[in-house]
């Protein structure tokens, strides 16, 4: 179950890449910019700001009605047939969640094989959390490795050791999220403790895999964790890069269109805050920081 395939990505690993976004995530980060990745199930999104009240969709099913010049959409009645997407002139509807075979996905991403090879790029498994669908990821990775495609795994790390062990032979790089070191801070921010996440990172490092650490920076949530994170990462040998990712609020409209409660923080970091975080990480950890 995936929700997107994006081509010509340049921030999901080395070179030019195609990123496959898997649906489903074990964490509920308050700042998540991909709320469509939370559930493993197919979902429909409706953006009322795009609706022009033309009424075309109301002729298709009972999920949509126009009343007092207001469009009312009852997503509980949606059967995910997709007809509203085809008929809407403004693109107010979209469906997240597509069951695809490994062979189908491989065929699509391999369209850009020449760009992968020429740029040192490849394919990134992202999400959500791709390793919630471990066996599928392994099957897809095997197909791609037959073509010598570089594979990066973008993971939150909150997965079983078995999942890590299964994907290890096929992963060239792990893009690994570290959000906090204090377990209580981590739980407050994501709903889960971080013991498993930190242990899995140590395990991946012990296997000599390339690691890129990703740290989302959210003022008043994990901004006080930077020195602790830097101290912890000092002991991880195979980190090739640490990225500090500034929090943004671009996903607010996604929450609204999905009918999902939006707990996103209001405050976004300043450039000065991000620069200080990068300098602290560089000074304490000894790793390259971007």
Which whole number is the average pLDDT over 12-37?
97
What is the pLDDT confidence band of residue 42, given thresholds at 50, 70 and 90?
A: very high
Which whole number is the average pLDDT over 133-139?
98
Q: How many residues does the chain have?
A: 290
For 225-246, the pLDDT digits (tens) are 999 999 999 999 999 999 999 9
Q: What is the DSSP string of 108-137?
A: HHGGGHHHHHHHT-EEEEESS-GGGGHHHH
Contacts of 271 (CB under 8 A, 6+ apart): none
The class level of CATH for 2-40+97-285 reads: alpha beta
Nearest to 215 by CA among 269, 171, 164, 150: 269
CA distances from 7 to 91, 122, 187 (A): 21, 10, 34
Which whole number is the average pLDDT over 161-168?
98
Q: Is the pLDDT of residue 135 over 90?
A: yes
Q: Is the pLDDT of residue 131 over 90?
A: yes
Which whole number is the average pLDDT over 257-282?
96
pLDDT, position 118? 95
For 83-110, the pLDDT digits (tens) are 999 999 999 999 999 999 999 999 999 9
Percent of residues, the chain, with pLDDT higher than 70: 100
Q: What is the architecture, at CATH level 2, of domain 43-96?
A: 2-Layer Sandwich (3.30)
Which whole number is the average pLDDT over 237-263?
95
pLDDT, position 61? 87
Q: Is the pLDDT of residue 158 over 90?
A: yes
pLDDT, position 155? 98
Q: CATH topology of 2-40+97-285 equal to that of 43-96? A: no
CA distances from 210 to 12, 41, 182, 199 (A): 14, 32, 25, 16
**How far is Cα 21 from Cα 9, in angstroms, rounded to an integer?**
12
For 281-290, the pLDDT digits (tens) are 999 999 999 9
Percent of residues, the chain, with pLDDT higher than 90: 97
For 169-215, the pLDDT digits (tens) are 999 999 999 999 999 999 999 999 999 999 999 999 999 999 999 99
Q: Is the pLDDT of residue 27 over 90?
A: yes
The full set of domain ranges for the chain reads 2-40+97-285, 43-96
Which whole number is the average pLDDT over 61-71?
91
Contact 20, 2 (CB under 8 A): yes
**How far is Cα 176 from Cα 56, in angstroms, rounded to an integer?**
45
Which whole number is the average pLDDT over 130-146?
98
What is the pLDDT confidence band of residue 273, given thresholds at 50, 70 and 90?
A: very high
């Amino acid at each position: 179950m995936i929700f997107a395939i994006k081509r010509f990505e340049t921030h999901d690993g080395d070179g030019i890449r195609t990123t496959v976004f898997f649906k489903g995530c074990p964490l509920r980060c308050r700042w998540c910019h991909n709320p469509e990745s939370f559930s493993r199930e197919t979902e429909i999104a409706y953006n009322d700001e795009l609706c022009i009240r033309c009424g075309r969709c109301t002729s298709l099913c009972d999920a949509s009605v126009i009343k007092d010049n207001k469009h009312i959409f009852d997503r509980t009645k949606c059967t995910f047939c997709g007809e509203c997407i085809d008929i809407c002139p403004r693109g107010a509807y979209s469906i997240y969640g597509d069951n695809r075979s490994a062979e189908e996905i491989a065929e699509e991403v391999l369209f850009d094989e020449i760009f992968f090879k020429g740029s040192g790029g490849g394919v990134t498994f992202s999400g959500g959390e791709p390793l919630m669908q471990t066996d599928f990821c392994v099957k897809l990775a095997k197909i791609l490795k037959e073509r010598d495609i570089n594979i990066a795994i973008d993971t939150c790390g909150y997965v079983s050791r078995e999942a890590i062990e299964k994907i290890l032979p096929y992963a060239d790089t792990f893009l690994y999220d570290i959000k906090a070191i204090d377990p209580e801070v981590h739980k407050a921010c994501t709903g889960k403790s971080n013991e498993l996440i930190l242990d899995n990172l140590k395990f991946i490092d012990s296997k000599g895999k390339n690691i890129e650490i990703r740290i989302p920076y959210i003022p008043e949530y994990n901004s006080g964790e930077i020195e602790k994170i830097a101290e912890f990462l000092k002991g991880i040998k195979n980190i090739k890069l640490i990225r500090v990712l500034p929090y943004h609020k671009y996903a607010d409209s996604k929450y609204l269109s999905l009918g999902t409660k939006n707990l996103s923080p209001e405050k976004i970091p300043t450039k000065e805050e991000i620069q200080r975080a990068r300098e602290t990480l560089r000074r304490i950890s000894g790793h390259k920081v971007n």
